[in-house]
């Protein structure tokens, strides 16, 4: 009997992965875990599959998570990166193979490697599908010197707290992972300054893409022999991009100290 544990199963992004997982895979048991018990019940009813079970859980409690995932063959972590770490630590403690929709906790890669535990992070659209597409192309070329990853996402940027956090992380001026790779070095870039016009398939057409702090730049530059340049650039709907540009220009990320009633407060 094979069992999979899905953490954050009914989150705005993970719920689609959960649906797909249940419909297309052959696990004998799916335990869908989330703090939102009502949504869990709704999804269980929708899926109407006797293999599906649910669990209400607070993912901030590492010990509770570790107890819950024991005995499972695989864990899928669908939490946003500001909430994913306790589950990640529990997975490592229990030495269970796992996949993670998020790609923000790279510092644990060596720990998983030392423990001999499979951990695949960044398995969403970008990174994720884009890495698979790049690998597919590389395998059909005699030699690859340059890789360009361009994406356009036309989902709303604020349909959940995790996506708001992600959107702001993309444009944070202090983010050093917003970079391109060239001749053995990564070159950090400011947010929303340099763009390139790319023609996507209809109905999207020509759109300006910008440097983003996605992991393809770092993974592909390491995994593709002989590659000299890797760039990852993306965009959301043009109206959303204009709002984000205005936020950056307005200085919402600037750190300032304000004095009030004799006390200093950092903004």
* Residue whose token pair is 């052959």: 26
Per-residue pLDDT tens for 16-34? Answer: 999 999 999 999 999 999 9
Q: Which CATH number fits domain 3-121: 3.20.20.70, 3.40.50.300, 3.40.50.720, 3.40.50.2300?
A: 3.40.50.720
DSSP 99-128: EES----GGGHHHHHHHT--EEE--BTTTB
Mean pLDDT confidence for 33-47 = 98
Q: Are 119 and 98 in contact (CB under 8 A)?
A: yes
Q: How far apart are the C-alpha atoms of 188 and 79, rounded to whole Å?
A: 27
Q: 3-121 with 129-250: one CATH topology?
A: no
Query: What is the CATH number that goes with domain 129-250?
Result: 3.30.360.10
Q: Are 36 and 7 in contact (CB under 8 A)?
A: no
Q: Where are the domains of the chain?
A: 3-121, 129-250
The model carries a pTM of: 0.86
Q: How far apart are the C-alpha atoms of 52 and 31, rounded to whole Å?
A: 6
Q: Token digits for 103?
A: 């790609």
Instruction: Tell me how many degrees the CA angle 60-167-229 measures, rounded to the nearest 5.
Output: 110
Per-residue pLDDT tens for 49-107? Answer: 999 999 999 999 999 999 999 999 999 999 988 889 999 999 999 999 999 988 767 78
């Amino acid at each position: 009997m094979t069992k999979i544990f899905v953490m954050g199963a009914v989150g705005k992004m993970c719920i689609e992965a959960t649906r797909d997982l249940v419909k297309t895979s052959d696990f004998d048991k799916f335990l869908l875990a989330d703090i939102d018990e009502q949504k869990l019940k709704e999804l269980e009813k929708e899926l109407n599959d006797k293999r599906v079970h649910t669990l209400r859980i607070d993912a901030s409690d590492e010990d509770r998570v570790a107890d819950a995932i024991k005995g499972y063959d695989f864990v899928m972590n669908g939490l946003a990166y500001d909430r994913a770490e306790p589950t990640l630590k529990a997975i490592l403690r229990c030495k269970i193979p796992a996949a993670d929709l998020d790609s923000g906790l790279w510092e644990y890669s060596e720990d998983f490697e030392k423990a001999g535990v499979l951990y695949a992070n960044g398995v969403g659209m970008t990174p994720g599908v884009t890495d698979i597409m790049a690998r597919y192309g590389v395998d059909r070329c005699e030699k690859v010197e340059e890789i360009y990853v361009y994406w356009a996402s036309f989902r709303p940027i604020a349909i959940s707290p995790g996506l708001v956090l992600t959107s702001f992380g993309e444009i944070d001026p202090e983010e050093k992972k917003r970079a391109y790779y060239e001749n053995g070095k990564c070159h950090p870039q400011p947010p929303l300054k340099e763009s390139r016009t790319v023609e996507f398939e209809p109905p999207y057409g020509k759109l300006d893409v910008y440097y983003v702090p996605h992991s393809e730049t770092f993974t592909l530059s390491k995994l593709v022999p002989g590659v000299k340049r890797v760039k990852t650039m993306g965009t959301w709907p043009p109206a959303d991009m204009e709002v984000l540009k205005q936020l950056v220009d307005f200085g919402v990320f600037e750190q300032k100290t304000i004095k009030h009633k004799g006390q200093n407060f950092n903004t």
